[in-house]
């Protein structure tokens, strides 16, 4: 046995000596100049281009069989100028000699220094690389190894036992792009690529860095990338783990003109199933921190992206500023300072679906789902819920009215008409946009504040398609009662047709007015039902076509601040009335019931059964209101116990109507009846009547807002 090992060692040594000797002889007889000449001829015959060696070709033999090239350049394609297509300052590659005997290829680090590649496309769209890439030539059958049924290819198919590379070092590489047709110019400069040892089918590390620049639009930035790469045994399932990508860039196309971003995670590609996964993704950019997973299916056909993302707390206003958006002014400057949430979504080239949304903005939590199909003509579906939302905080701040005008003379006289025309134009419906809507959604809000009005349990269902828009229903609880509304706008014909069905029950009117205008001018439990239909694109036109009916009933309330009696009567009553009952009368007028039904025809609201019931006081009325002309013509009969009935007429523009009584005699008797004390008005009865009439008018205007609050 010892003799066997001794003989084997001698034979092995002899083989090594023979290889070394052969390598030495090979090195001595190699004619590098001839090799360069043959390579130049080969490239010229195949491509028509000139391959230029500007330095010597160095050859090493043992223990590494290698080639080292000095500067080399390849000429450009015809018609693209004299600048070289490609240049390399230095190339060095070496293969270990002895392992070649056993078909084991071991390559030392491949070094490429100073690569310069110039890509150009002319005005006809022809690139200077097309002749090298085959151009319009017919594709030849590939001689590359074809995977067998087991899916293996590579070193074993080439008859190699193994293939190893000590690493790749590409330093100071540059790539330029010039499109003379569009004027676009871009470059990657200072490219550096470095890898760890590479063994066929085994993982390796790599790092890459470069600087990117573009002329139009202007852009410049530095990019770095590191990862642990694994090509996979059959190259069908490559993976990149511990990926870290960073970008620091400036330029016009970037949001806000500058971006500092980083992306980290694991990237897995499966070419057998045509999928890509980004796991444990961590993205930091524009004051945002996002983490989650991304799955992409159907890579080679129509990609489908599924993702689950979590957003750490961010500042929406700062984000808008970073995106270069104009500052958003809000009534509450403290809103839009914080937001966070998570999302589970699916997207294709023509659709997006949010399967699960959990979003917290300031004090509002929003959840639900939403989808958009067909981006060209979007169809929107949503089902969203919010716990509480104060819309007033997000509305634009109120602008102070300076009261100044820029017109005078005749132009100033036209201001009212101009404003009216502008108002009608502004209130016209954007029919084209509304007809294009395709929406089917539900929105629920636990607590909603809008224009200082407070609603709870808000439920809105919206359906819009082909010009038919329906809000059925809009329901909510408010001020102790409930509202249920159905609204339909039909825009399928030339003229929009609108229908409203509104029901309001057990509504506390006082609290509503307190939040709306700051005062409880009228209180009472209110029931209201309205059914209306009309046609038109703006309020003035719509109002003139309204048809329908309504009913209203108020119970157990008071009119506050309604001063019927004039000051002269009150002063006299105060002198003779020790109980000071005039003060109570002045502060409020209680009632038990107010009821009315209305008929609407062509925009004219008419009633014939208005009724008021109160202690010692009753009233009935009839009349009409023209909605399009904003005119009122109403006659009421006031019935005070033990006194003749008093007729009152209200007429004119509804914001500032004239109120008149029939006779002064009724006024004196009315004053006596309310205070229940004798008052000697005497010859001044006419003046007292005028004062009392003024008091009634002031009271009515105070309730309905007068000219200040239409």
Predicted pLDDT at 381? 95
Predicted pLDDT at 30? 53
- Three-state secondary structure call for residue 666: helix
Predicted pLDDT at 323? 79
Give the residue ranges of the chain where pLDDT is below 70: 1-32, 57-67, 94-107, 133-164, 400-429, 561-588, 616, 640-645, 661-710
Residues of the chain with pLDDT > 70: what percent? 71
Predicted pLDDT at 582? 52
Predicted pLDDT at 253? 78
Predicted pLDDT at 672? 52
| 220 dihedral zone (left: phi>0; alpha: psi -120 to 50; beta) | beta
The β-bridge partners of 532 are 500, 548
Predicted pLDDT at 583? 52
Predicted pLDDT at 458? 95
CA end-to-end span of the chain: 118
Total H helices, total E strands in the chain: 13, 37
Predicted pLDDT at 562? 57
Beta strands 168-179; 116-121: pairing state: parallel
Predicted pLDDT at 9? 46
- Closest alpha carbon to 239 in 282, 211, 285, 271: 271
Residues of the chain with pLDDT > 90: what percent? 37
Predicted pLDDT at 508? 92
The β-bridge partners of 364 are 361
- What are the pLDDT digits (tens) for 10-38? 444 444 444 444 444 444 445 667 777 87
Predicted pLDDT at 525? 93
- What are the pLDDT digits (tens) for 229-249? 998 877 888 999 999 999 999
Predicted pLDDT at 255? 78
Locate the domains of the chain by residue range. Answer: 478-704
Read off the pTM: 0.70
> Rounded to whole angstroms, how far apart are CA atoms 446 and 369?
17
């Amino acid at each position: 046995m010892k003799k066997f090992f001794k003989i084997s060692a001698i034979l092995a040594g002899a083989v090594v000596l023979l290889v070394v000797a052969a390598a030495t002889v090979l090195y001595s007889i190699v004619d590098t100049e001839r090799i360069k000449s043959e390579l130049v001829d080969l490239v010229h015959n195949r491509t028509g281009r000139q391959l230029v060696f500007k330095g010597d070709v160095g050859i090493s033999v043992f223990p590494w069989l290698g080639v080292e090239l000095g500067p080399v350049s390849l000429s450009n394609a015809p018609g693209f100028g004299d600048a070289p297509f490609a240049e390399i300052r230095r190339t060095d590659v070496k293969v270990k000699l002895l392992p070649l005997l056993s078909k084991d290829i071991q390559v030392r680090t491949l070094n490429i220094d100073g690569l310069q590649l110039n890509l150009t496309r002319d005005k006809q769209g022809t690139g200077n690389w097309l002749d090298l890439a085959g151009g319009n030539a017919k594709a030849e059958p590939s001689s590359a190894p074809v995977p067998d049924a087991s899916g293996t290819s590579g070193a074993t198919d080439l008859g190699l036992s193994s293939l190893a590379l000590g690493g790749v070092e590409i330093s100071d590489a540059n790539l330029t792009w010039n499109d003379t047709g569009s004027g676009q110019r871009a470059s990657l400069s200072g490219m550096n690529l470095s890898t760890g040892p590479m063994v066929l089918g085994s993982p390796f590390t790599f790092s890459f860095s470069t600087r990117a620049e573009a002329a139009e639009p202007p852009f410049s930035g530095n990019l770095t990338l590191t990862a642990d790469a694994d090509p996979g045994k059959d190259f069908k399932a490559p993976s990149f783990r511990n990926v870290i990508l960073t970008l620091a860039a400036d330029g016009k196309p970037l949001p806000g003109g500058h971006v500092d971003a980083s992306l980290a995670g694991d990237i897995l590609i499966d070419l057998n199933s045509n999928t890509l996964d980004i796991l444990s993704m961590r993205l930091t950019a524009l004051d945002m921190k996002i983490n989650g997973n991304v799955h992409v299916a159907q890579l080679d056909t129509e990609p489908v992206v599924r993702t689950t993302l979590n957003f750490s707390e961010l500042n929406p206003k700062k984000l808008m500023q970073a995106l270069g958006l104009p500052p958003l002014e809000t009534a509450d400057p403290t809103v839009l300072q914080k937001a966070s949430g998570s999302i589970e979504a699916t997207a294709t080239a023509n659709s997006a679906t949010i399967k699960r949304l959990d979003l917290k903005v300031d004090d509002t939590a929003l959840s639900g789902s939403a989808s958009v199909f067909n981006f060209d003509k979007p169809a929107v579906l949503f089902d969203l819920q919010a716990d509480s939302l104060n819309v007033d905080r997000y509305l634009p701040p109120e602008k102070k009215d300076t009261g100044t005008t820029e017109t005078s003379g005749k132009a100033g006289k036209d201001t009212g008409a101009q404003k009216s025309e502008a108002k009608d134009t502004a209130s016209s419906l954007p029919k084209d946009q509304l007809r294009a809507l395709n929406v089917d959604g539900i929105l629920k809000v636990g607590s909603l504040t809008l224009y200082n009005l407070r609603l709870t349990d808000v439920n809105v269902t919206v359906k819009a398609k082909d010009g038919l828009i329906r809000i059925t229903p809009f329901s909510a609880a408010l001020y102790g009662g409930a509202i249920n509304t159905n609204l339909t706008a039909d825009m399928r014909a030339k003229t929009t047709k609108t229908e409203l069905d509104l029901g309001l029950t057990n509504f506390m009117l006082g609290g509503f007015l307190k939040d709306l205008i700051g005062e409880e001018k009228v209180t009472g439990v209110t029931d209201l039902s309205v059914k209306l239909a009309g046609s038109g694109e703006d309020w003035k036109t719509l109002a003139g076509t309204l048809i329908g009916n309504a009913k209203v009933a108020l119970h157990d309330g008071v009119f506050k601040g309604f001063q019927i009696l004039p000051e002269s009567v009150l002063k006299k009553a105060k002198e003779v009335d020790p109980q000071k009952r005039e003060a109570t009368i002045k502060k409020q007028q209680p009632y038990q019931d107010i009821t009315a039904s209305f008929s609407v025809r062509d925009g004219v609201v008419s009633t014939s059964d208005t009724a008021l019931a109160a202690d010692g006081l009753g009233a009935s009325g009839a009349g009409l209101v023209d909605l399009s002309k904003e005119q009122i013509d109403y006659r009421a009969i006031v019935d005070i116990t033990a006194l003749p009935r008093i007729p009152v007429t209200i007429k004119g523009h509804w914001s500032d109507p004239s109120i008149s009584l029939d006779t002064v005699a009724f006024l004196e008797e009315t004053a006596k009846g309310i205070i229940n004390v004798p008052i000697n008005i005497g010859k001044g009865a006419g003046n007292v009547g005028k004062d009392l009439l003024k008091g009634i008018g002031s009271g009515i205007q105070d309730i309905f807002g007068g000219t200040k609050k239409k």
